[in-house]
Amino acid sequence: METFAQQLGLNMTQFSQSFNSGKYDLLINANHSLGIQAGVTETPTFFLIGPNGKMISIVGGQSELVFEQAVASLTSG
């Protein structure tokens, strides 16, 4: 985790203090629970909701075409 944080150019002192303090544990656990409730099985997962309330999930790394087709299906007839 620290290597990734360094690659991102984060302030490592601040990162280590925040990570090790548990300051964000409740938020992380709450977000994890919400993901499970929503049926997320992989990251990334995207939820597209059309004007009629229809929802499409796009799971995993997908091409731009997949998103274009999903949006088109939500906005057509």
Query: Do 59 and 75 belong together in one domain?
Result: yes
Q: Give the Cα separation of 9 and 20 in Å (integer).
A: 18
Q: What pLDDT, on a 0 to 100 scale, did the predictor assign at position 76?
A: 81
Query: Do 58 and 72 belong together in one domain?
Result: yes
Query: Do 26 and 45 belong together in one domain?
Result: no
Q: What pLDDT, on a 0 to 100 scale, did the predictor assign at position 77?
A: 61
Query: Do 31 and 46 belong together in one domain?
Result: no
User: Which residue range forms the structural domain that includes residue 31?
Assistant: 1-37
Query: Do 32 and 53 belong together in one domain?
Result: no
Domain count, the chain: 2
Please give the span between the terminal C-alpha atoms of the chain, in angstroms, as a whole number.
46
27-77 pLDDT, tens digit each: 999 999 999 999 999 999 999 999 989 999 999 999 999 999 999 999 886
Query: Do 47 and 60 belong together in one domain?
Result: yes
Query: Do 46 and 76 belong together in one domain?
Result: yes
